[in-house]
Structure 1
């Protein structure tokens, strides 16, 4: 990842976009792709789609990544000027005390801190408990009258931290979930344009309100109605202490993108993602998803008459905290993988499970009959082999008995 790409990623991460207030990041996405995409649109939910037409009649591929981040919302302003808040998306109250936060008001951003009684004033029993969200307050360091003048109920709040490189090839920031996906989608579109385009259209979709129910993906998938889709999101890395791999699987930062497998995933899309990774020599990891996922894939798959959908992720440590951690090489490899997947799509594919050769390549009715007859013949031959082996055993047993009697 070069300096220009890192700067784009950092800009996405540090631009506030709590759920329902994604407009600033949407503008960054539009500006980035304005010179490359053939068409850019923004729907009434706020989702941005950038379309790159194909060079032929291949299937239209949509890549969806949500641009909203978790945050807080002002629910009450006390007479003393302190803010009470509720969470927007899944926020762990345990990480908030002592945090610096940014309150996004109509007049601009106000810096605040999440207050908590000092340990000297907390009873021994209280020290063992997490302060619930409704007992936390945000201190803006302003007189009460100024707070009430500048802050309104419903103003949203983000963690007051940004992007930083650290360690070996690692980066830490708030909101990698999932603004790194907006980065990936933009880079894939640019790569496809440089490669002469895929056979079919490619649509990069920066969706909204995923953190409260994949709402942007619901409307976007219905409107775009692609022939095939990928959702990109982050997934839980399990490479640090305290995570049970026997329960959550083995997912490691730096070991490549993660390809999901399960009922929420079209099996043909899954196989073609694996084939693309292997063709490019890209390391990859597999993740079991035995039910619907908590990603945009859950909404896209069941849109209209059903859209064949895959899910690809990068490992992320400490999800929904102010210090989410990823390996930048995993992002680079994800861009390469999805680019290859898109370039390999062509017009003679079937994503209907069981109706092709397993990778989407169509076979004729005659070939299907021949395959079925061949499989039946092989099964019958195997059965006869078993029968003959059983008869041989019986004959040997009889011969052994006769020999013993003699």
Structure 2
């Protein structure tokens, strides 16, 4: 991967962005894409829009979107001893939280803490087999009492898991937040590649870094309404099934390093799917396939039914260990996804071609 792109990816992943608190990551996105677009704006929700105008008149509008928000925690209560009780932002697994290092994002900057747990020596046998509910877990920042903790932390402060970008064997990398900063990264790389192209596209392109996907596809809903696209491509992550404890019958045969995933189903416009497939074949980009017979739980869902309807598709990145601090992807899959989308954009001729006949 290009060293500048890799540096951007690391910086994007490092920036905290639980749903509703995305702006540290959005600032990283804006800074990176600014040289590549004709117009860069942010709406009241916090969605970022980067537009590259095409060549011609009355061009189809194409929106590509990846959400920048990640799962996390939010401080709900500070007890008399200075321990912080919290709630989940998005789908946080209570199996994983105890014993984790965290950062509490305060007005004074990030504050280190740990999620404590009763020692196993002091637990009854039955309690050792029980998962402690999130509402009963707590963060220890080292404060001696409530008064000291309240000088540093406010109710409502966001919390992220401590996680460093880690290089594994080959091109595999691990970090928190690849869901869906992987998609946000691909959107940025598409903008960069389009800007570097020799010819202008025959579409008006909008690259969107959306917010609040993890709590109900909220930024995807408002951003699509604002852009009013004819065509929408959502870049997301999907469950890899090449780890030992995942059943392939659930999500098909999906592996890291074998290319981006193209989804088929009711949420996907057939002609747009075909364009992606032809582009993959012509450009010799390996792709994988999954099936989804109903609305997907992604921004593609709300894009498709925005206003009078949008021709939508999903390009997904294979991901291991979703919603953990060690989400793992292949860098090659990220690069291939960006190239595939650019090759598809070059094949779009009109908005009418997506209407079923």
TM-score range, shorter chain: over 0.9
Contact 2:13 2:177 in 1 (8 A): yes
Partner Cα distance (1:297, 1:204) in 2: 14
Partner Cα distance (2:23, 2:317) in 1: 25
Q: How does 1:243-262 map to 2 (within 5 A)?
A: 243-262=246-265
Deviation of 1:183 after TM superposition, in Å, equals 1.1
Deviation of 1:198 after TM superposition, in Å, equals 1.2
1:91 has 2:101 as partner? no
Partner Cα distance (1:64, 1:131) in 2: 36
Partner Cα distance (2:354, 2:4) in 1: 37
Partner Cα distance (1:345, 1:222) in 2: 21
Question: Could you give the per-residue CA deviations for residues 39-60 of structure 1, whole angstroms, max 9, x where no partner exists?
Answer: 0110100000000000124422
Question: Could you give the per-residue CA deviations for residues 37-83 of structure 1, whole angstroms, max 9, x where no partner exists?
Answer: 10011010000000000012442211010000000011110000001
What residue number does 2:178 align with? 176
What residue number does 2:159 align with? 157
Partner Cα distance (1:164, 1:204) in 2: 28
Q: Which has the larger radius of gyration?
A: 1
Question: Could you give the per-residue CA deviations for residues 198-221 of structure 1, whole angstroms, max 9, x where no partner exists?
Answer: 111111000000000110011110
Deviation of 1:29 after TM superposition, in Å, equals 1.4
- Of 237, 240, 251, 1:237 maps to 240
Q: How does 1:7-406 map to 2 (within 5 A)?
A: 7-57=7-57, 58-144=59-145, 145-195=147-197, 196-347=199-350, 349-353=352-356, 355=357
Deviation of 1:164 after TM superposition, in Å, equals 1.2
Q: Secondary structure at the match of 1:124?
A: coil
Deviation of 1:197 after TM superposition, in Å, equals 2.6
Partner Cα distance (1:84, 1:113) in 2: 12
Partner Cα distance (1:293, 1:89) in 2: 17
Question: Could you give the per-residue CA deviations for residues 368-406 of structure 1, whole angstroms, max 9, x where no partner exists?
Answer: xxxxxxxxxxxxxxxxxxxxxxxxxxxxxxxxxxxxxxx
Deviation of 1:142 after TM superposition, in Å, equals 2.0
Deviation of 1:348 after TM superposition, in Å, equals 6.8
Greater CA drift, 133-142 or 342-351: 342-351
Deviation of 1:28 after TM superposition, in Å, equals 1.2
Question: Could you give the per-residue CA deviations for residues 4-44 of structure 1, whole angstroms, max 9, x where no partner exists?
Answer: 21110000000001100111111111111212210011010
Partner Cα distance (1:276, 1:213) in 2: 32
Structure scoring higher RCO (CA < 8 A, sep ≥ 6) equals 2
Deviation of 1:247 after TM superposition, in Å, equals 2.6
Q: CA RMSD in A?
A: 1.0
Question: Moved runs in structure 1, 4+ residues, more than 3 A?
Answer: none
Unpaired segments ≥5 residues, structure 1 = 356-406
Q: Secondary structure at the match of 2:7?
A: helix
Contact 2:83 2:143 in 1 (8 A): no
Partner Cα distance (1:4, 1:193) in 2: 16
Contact 2:256 2:330 in 1 (8 A): yes
Q: How many residues align?
A: 354
Deviation of 1:146 after TM superposition, in Å, equals 1.9
Partner Cα distance (1:247, 1:161) in 2: 29
Partner Cα distance (1:139, 1:77) in 2: 10
Partner Cα distance (1:345, 1:95) in 2: 44
Question: Could you give the per-residue CA deviations for residues 113-166 of structure 1, whole angstroms, max 9, x where no partner exists?
Answer: 000011101111111111110111100012222211111111110011121111
Unpaired segments ≥5 residues, structure 2 = none
Deviation of 1:349 after TM superposition, in Å, equals 4.4
Q: Secondary structure at the match of 1:20?
A: coil
Greater CA drift, 270-279 or 319-328: 270-279
Partner Cα distance (2:229, 2:352) in 1: 14
Q: Secondary structure at the match of 1:69?
A: coil
Partner Cα distance (2:2, 2:313) in 1: 28
What residue number does 1:394 align with? none
Larger helix proportion, structure 1 or 2? 1
